[in-house]
């Protein structure tokens, strides 16, 4: 794997203390905040949902649902689907709620989304993201995608990674 170039952010502040009677600078204080390093945004290629879905084997009918989900993607990488929003999307796609659930399942099996709780789905941050690059890098370290090839076929598994304390992150590996 190529090592990415890193971007370093340093916050420096200088405060000059002035004697108000004389207008003289009597002291100067310099402070520096912690240095945070994270990979710089790599060069990217625009990839269309249709092409990505073709690579992972998602049918055209399921792609339309994926596009609706991505339109609802928040900055944390999650899509919340209330019963009303599920019904609304199903109506727009002219499908039943059962078909809607089946298509969500197919998208999950393809490794594009995963159910994290009732009515909440995380999109695979390796493929889809919204927000600034630092946050996207942090999200990517929290998500593991495995693709295994056997004689029986391809198996795709995606899930959040938990550290020893139970928190879901590997941020120190990325930022340290």
On whether both 59 and 112 belong to a single domain, the answer is yes
On whether both 19 and 76 belong to a single domain, the answer is no
On whether both 153 and 106 belong to a single domain, the answer is yes
Structure tokens at 103: 């298509």
Q: Would 35 be classed as within a structural domain?
A: yes
On whether both 32 and 54 belong to a single domain, the answer is no
- Render pLDDT for 35-86 as a digit per residue (tens, 0 to 9): 666 666 665 555 567 777 877 888 888 999 999 999 998 988 899 999 999 9
Q: Would 136 be classed as within a structural domain?
A: yes
| Residue 10: per-residue pLDDT | 63
Tally of domains in the chain:
2
Structure tokens at 52: 């990505």
On whether both 73 and 147 belong to a single domain, the answer is yes
Question: Domain range holding 60?
Answer: 49-175
| Partner residues linked to 119 by β-bridges | none
On whether both 71 and 92 belong to a single domain, the answer is yes
On whether both 72 and 137 belong to a single domain, the answer is yes
Instruction: Between 138 and 114, name the one with better pLDDT.
Output: 114
Pairing of strands 143-150, 6-9: unpaired
On whether both 72 and 21 belong to a single domain, the answer is no
On whether both 29 and 113 belong to a single domain, the answer is no
On whether both 57 and 131 belong to a single domain, the answer is yes
Q: Would 112 be classed as within a structural domain?
A: yes
Residue with tokens 């009303």: 84
Angle at 49 between CA 122 and CA 51, to 5 degrees: 130
On whether both 53 and 30 belong to a single domain, the answer is no
Cα–Cα nearest to 135, from 75, 78, 80? 75
Grade residue 132 by pLDDT with cuts at 50, 70 and 90: confident
Structure tokens at 114: 């995963």
């Amino acid at each position: 794997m190529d090592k990415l170039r890193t971007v370093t952010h340093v916050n420096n502040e200088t405060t000059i203390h002035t004697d108000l009677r004389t207008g003289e600078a009597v002291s100067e204080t310099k402070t520096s905040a912690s240095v945070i390093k994270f990979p710089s945004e790599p060069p990217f290629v625009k990839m269309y949902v249709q092409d990505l879905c073709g690579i992972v084997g998602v049918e055209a009918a399921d792609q339309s649902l994926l596009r609706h989900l991505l339109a609802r993607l928040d900055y944390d990488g999650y899509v919340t689907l209330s019963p009303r929003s599920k019904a609304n999307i199903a109506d727009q796609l002219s499908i039943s709620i059962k078909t809607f659930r089946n298509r969500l399942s197919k998208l999950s099996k393809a490794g594009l989304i995963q159910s994290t709780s009732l009515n909440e789905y995380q999109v695979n941050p390796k493929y889809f993201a919204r927000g600034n690059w630092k946050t996207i890098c942090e999200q990517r370290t929290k998500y593991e995608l495995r693709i295994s090839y056997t004689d029986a076929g391809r198996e795709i598994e995606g899930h959040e990674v938990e550290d020893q304390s139970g928190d879901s992150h590997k941020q120190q590996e990325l930022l340290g």
